[in-house]
Amino acid sequence: MEVIILAGGQGKRLQSVVSDLPKPMANISGRPFLWWLLTRLSHQQVGRVILSVGYKAEAIQDYFGDVFSGIDIAYSVETEPLGTGGAIRFALEQARETQVVVLNGDTYTDIELRCLSDKLESSRSDLVMAVTHLDDVSRYGAVLCDGETETIVGFSEKQGGSAGYINAGIYCLRRDIFDRYSVPTRFSFERDFLTKWLSVLRPVAFSGVRAFIDIGVPEDFALAQTLIPAIAQKAPEAAES
């Protein structure tokens, strides 16, 4: 299995704790956040990871090198910010497999990526999106799905305090997904691609996310110090290195 991790973020909302590092290098219980993420991937049949890096890329490259925990590491280095969509498209130029998993570099989840991949394989869509249920979706906005087909039919803005499904920041997509759509060099995957082409893409939702931790704001970053190691303990060998 091949994975792209979007790890180019500066982490402006976390400057009090990662002022001189890329956000994925934020310290979580003595290790960089990206260490926890890659270690988990090493136990999910992931053989190759493409790290999409930008801001202070050398900090990530120097730490992880070309191989980490049995995973081959490649780097897609942005010389200027490309947005999430542009970063994915650029990284896909290095992809070798016909389908690729994409992860946000600031979220940690308990999910079986093979199940996500199998769902794409059995679908007619170019894209499967992992979704997770929250009691309050106001921070993220809601993902609206057809209950019978699991097709994603819309997105609602960040408002109210109601429960619902949100985008977990994990996708499984076909390597040639952008070949069929007109997209610029720099664009947001969520706003400029998913929303614009939703009716044609007909992406499928995957709800098998058992835990979701977003380190993007200081309060959740603080919670992650204990939550991420606790989740990692479910796979005892994953906590060792």
Residue 230 DSSP symbol: H
Question: Which superfamily does CATH assign the domain made up of 2-131+167-175+204-239 to?
Answer: Spore Coat Polysaccharide Biosynthesis Protein SpsA; Chain A (3.90.550.10)
| Whole-prediction pTM | 0.93
What is the residue extent of each domain of the chain? 2-131+167-175+204-239
Residue 207: count of CB within 10 angstroms of its CB: 14
The four Cα atoms 112, 232, 100, 122 give a dihedral, to 10 degrees, of 0
**57 to 18, 62, 75, 86: CA distances (angstroms):** 14, 9, 9, 17
Task: Please list, in sequence order, all residues whose beta carbon lies within 8 angstroms of the beta carbon of residue 149, skipping any fewer than 6 positions away.
Answer: 204
Pairing of strands 2-6, 48-53: parallel
Query: What is the chain's pLDDT, residue by residue, as a tens digit (241 residues)?
Result: 999 999 987 767 666 666 678 889 999 999 999 999 999 999 998 999 999 999 999 999 999 999 999 999 999 999 999 999 999 999 999 999 999 999 999 999 999 999 999 999 999 899 999 999 999 998 898 999 998 889 999 998 766 678 999 999 999 999 999 999 999 999 999 999 999 999 999 999 999 998 899 998 888 899 999 999 999 887 644 444 4
